Chains A and B, each alone.
Chain A
């Protein structure tokens, strides 16, 4: 069964460093997302991406964040200068069509020290 994959599974970084989280969505899906879940809190929406551009973003998704689909398979989330409060699980999700369910990857656990 097709699935969303994410790498790395864990990342530890120093405050102020740049990190890139990688995702490979399900191959025929058209809409891509990043969500995050701070420990003990809700899963929350960061950004959606369609047709090679951001379609919607939350207030969390400030200038320190960017997303890219550099080729036909990968979808990346970059945090330019990490802060302590960026420590969270980051989930990539994808869906096929307009009102289709979203399928989530296993997540990347980011720890900023």
Chain B
């Protein structure tokens, strides 16, 4: 079973639509969950960061974590063409020595058309 699974899409929506992006994970030890946005041939850019279960809102973006289901979501309201990018979920994996790394999903390609 893969540690982090994410539907690669592509997802195509009209401008103004609500977008739902999702990831599932297998490691119940994950506590920190991130969403990164990656434009073509650029580095991942941090969008949102959530600790444990619950919701977090930032403007048009809402991140949800359901640890009982090992499921995380990113919702984009009133989507804009500028939101067209690949969205990567990522989780912090803690090494035994206290250091950590990010484990990424495959990324979902989103296209918002005018």
Query: Out of A31, A42, A93, which one reaches B106, CB within 8 Å?
Result: A42
> How many residues in A have their beta carbons less than 8 Å from beta carbons of B?
28
Query: Out of A33, A55, A101, A106, which one reaches B42, CB within 8 Å?
Result: A106
Task: Let me know if A68 is at the binding interface, CB within 8 A.
Answer: no
B41 touches A43 (CB 8 A): no
Task: Let me know if B17 is at the binding interface, CB within 8 A.
Answer: no
Contacts of B98 in A (CB 8 A): 98
Could you say which of A11-19, A44-52, A70-78 contacts chain B? A44-52
A99 touches B32 (CB 8 A): yes
Task: Let me know if A109 is at the binding interface, CB within 8 A.
Answer: yes
**Interface set, chain B 30-87, CB cutoff 8 A to A:** 32, 34, 36, 41-46, 49
**Contacts A43-B44, A56-B95, A104-B45 hold; do A99 and B100 have CB atoms under 8 A apart?**
yes
Q: Is the interface of A mostly helix, strand, loop or mixed?
A: strand
Task: Let me know if A107 is at the binding interface, CB within 8 A.
Answer: yes
Closest to A41 in B: B106
Task: Let me know if A25 is at the binding interface, CB within 8 A.
Answer: no
Closest to B98 in A: A98
Tell which of A4, A93, A99 has the most Cβ of chain B within 10 Å: A99
**Contacts A42-B106, A56-B95 hold; do A104 and B101 have CB atoms under 8 A apart?**
no
Contacts of B43 in A (CB 8 A): 4, 6, 91, 104-107
B101 touches A45 (CB 8 A): yes
Task: Let me know if A7 is at the binding interface, CB within 8 A.
Answer: no
Task: Let me know if B103 is at the binding interface, CB within 8 A.
Answer: yes
Residue numbers of B with Cβ under 8 A of A are 32, 34, 36, 41-46, 49, 88, 90, 92, 95, 97-107
For the complex with contacts A48-B100, A99-B100, 10 further pairs of A-B residues with Cβ separation under 8 Å are A43-B102, A45-B102, A48-B101, A56-B95, A91-B43, A99-B32, A99-B92, A101-B49, A104-B45, A107-B41
